Amino acid sequence: MRKNLWCRSLAVVGLGTLSWSSACKSDPTAPADDPAASPPSLLSVGSPGKDEDPSVLLLPSGRVLVAWFSDRAGSGDIYVAGTDDRQSFTAPVQVTDNPFGNFYPNLFLDSKGTIHLVWFEWVQLSVGQIRHSTSLDGTTWTPEEAVTTLFLVDDWVPTITESADGTLLVYFVESKREFPSTINRIYVAAKPPSASEWETAVPVPGVNTPQQHNHLPFASRIGGDVALVWVRHDTANAVPWSPPIPKSDLFFATSPDGRSFGNAQQVTRENGVVANLFPAIYTRHDGSQWILWLQAGAKPTKVLELPVAGLGQYPSAVVEASWLPDGYSHRVTRTAEPGQYLGAWVQGPEGSQEIYWRTVTR
């Protein structure tokens, strides 16, 4: 049986990566629990320090890209590697090259076939902005551009998608823009197809609440709408992953233009101090969209999935993604192989976390 113990604590460390210190980590190279899953494989080969924050993306060619943060070269940079056969990955390409800390990449393929990458760049602890780069092949990337430029704020944990009219939308978290308030709010910066610069970021209507933190957004296109899933928790702690771990729930909303959301729906409903963290949305081979997240706290830590079409059926419609081992920041994409999915996650003790991956057919 999979070792799945709640014996970790999340903390913001170093220059700001989301780190999970493990006192009792399970073995990531242990035999697969699911007979349809490949053994876990190390992606961050040759890195002596931290590797975190994976993002996964399937390209039309069938190649799967994984982007992540690594401090192997110094203060922290974004790397991207790809696989065509789901057996091995190419050598990682270093996207960023500056003296700052670059964290939490998020990949996105737009309707014209351009690959987008956003991340946050810290010039010092808790002071940073959102950056953006594009690529046509996942190997050669344009010089970074600034999505946000406001000075002495802390714009971080971005996610990117586009609306039906082709407007790029970057959602991120910020707590300093409305001083003296320190509530975490989700902001959006937009870039219409004809624009050369990003519009000034604004709080997202319908998502934020005045006396609760809203954090860890993940955006996706579902049909003609923009979908957003995020974490909401009380003010006992500034972030939902740092001790003492607060009770947190997932919320979900859609918008036709991605600028204003209505009727935010509470997804998870648990008794006790249960943390619901690191949500993501991915598309299955049948075209259905699923929310994937980590649930920890009063129960054993689990990676859970719920179809977007079944949000009102929580918890009966929830299934455990048991093929994904212990860890955090799990991300999943379908592959070009019918019925196959590739997952990536973070695992390992504080200071030497690694990125692992595996596939499953179902």
List average pLDDT for each run of 10 residues in the chain, which is 362 residues long. 27 36 45 80 96 98 98 94 98 96 98 98 95 98 98 97 98 96 97 97 97 98 97 94 92 98 94 95 98 90 96 96 94 98 96 97 94
- Looking at residue 6, its pLDDT comes to 25
Q: Are 120 and 93 in contact (CB under 8 A)?
A: no
Distance CA 64, CA 57 (A): 6
Q: Which strand (E) or helix (H) includes residue 50?
A: none
The CA distance from 145 to 195, in Å, is 14
What pLDDT does residue 23 have?
30
For residues 57, 146, 214, 321, the Cα torsion angle rounded to the nearest 10 degrees is 10
Is residue 216 within 8 Å of residue 279, measured between CB atoms? yes
Give the containing element (helix H, strand E) for 159. strand 156-162
- 3-class state of residue 260 by DSSP: coil
Phi then psi dihedrals of residue 183, to 5 deg: -70, 135
Residue 15 is predicted with a pLDDT of 31
Token pair, residue 209, equals 């609440």
**β-sheet bridge partners, residue 28:** none
pLDDT at 287: 97
What are the CA-CA distances from residue 130 to residues 93, 110, 201, 253 (Å)? 20, 19, 11, 23
CA distance 56 to 324: 15
Least Cα distance to 280 among 214, 328, 336 occurs for 328
68 and 52 in contact (C-beta within 8 Å)? Answer: yes
**Are the C-beta atoms of residues 292 and 305 closer than 8 Å to each other?**
yes
* Residue (of 158, 166, 116, 121) closest to 141 by Cα position: 116
Tell me if 283 sits within 8 A of 296, measured CB to CB: no
| Rounded CA separation 35/217 (Å) | 33
- Per the CB < 8 A criterion, the answer to whether 345 and 360 are in contact is no
Vertex 11: Cα angle to 238 and 205 (nearest 5): 35
Q: Residue 28's pLDDT is what? A: 60
Of 31, 18, 28, 23, nearest in space to 5 by CA: 23
The shares of helix, strand and coil residues in the chain, as percent rounded to the nearest 5, are 0, 50, 50
Distance of CA 354 to the CA centre of its chain: 16
Q: What is the pLDDT of residue 243?
A: 85
CA angle, 76 then 79 then 83, to 5°: 155
d(CA 166, CA 217): 20
